[in-house]
Amino acid sequence: MSQLRELSKPFPESLVKQKPGKFAAAYVEHSVVGQRLLEVLGPYSFEVKQMITNPDGMVTGCLATLTCTIDGREVRITEVGDVERPGESNGSAGKTASSDALKRCAMRLGVGLHLWSQDNYYLDRALGKREKDGHDDK
């Protein structure tokens, strides 16, 4: 099975949590995303390129890059991580932003994409069909 297909497999319901509040959404924790990346790809590189601050100097986000090798091809994804509710310290906000950026980078590789796509998710099945039909692009 290709690594890309493995990355795209939906997470078991036992690992999916519900974000409370007005903008309720299903999610998996940062640690679960990290485990999926390590399980499927092995070591990867993740670098925060820039912290984003508001005019008061509080961290509100970051720009980060995930670099990994998938099915023999080096891939580099850059995403923005957000801080929904800036905390008491820039250190805490930086951790929140970098966790969000990692999850967003991983989503671009199919990790947890089913949570965003919901009923429109088909990627893992489509990749499985490509493999079955002998169109695995390695």
pLDDT tens digit sequence for 5-43: 999 999 999 999 998 877 778 999 999 999 999 999 999
Domain annotation covers residue 67: yes
Q: Do 62 and 86 contact (CB within 8 A), yes or no?
A: no
Residue 30 lies in a domain: yes
* Tally of CB atoms within 10 A around 36: 21
Residue 16 lies in a domain: yes
Q: What is the pTM of this model?
A: 0.89
Q: What is the CATH number of the domain that holds 125?
A: 3.30.390.80
pLDDT at 2 over 60: yes
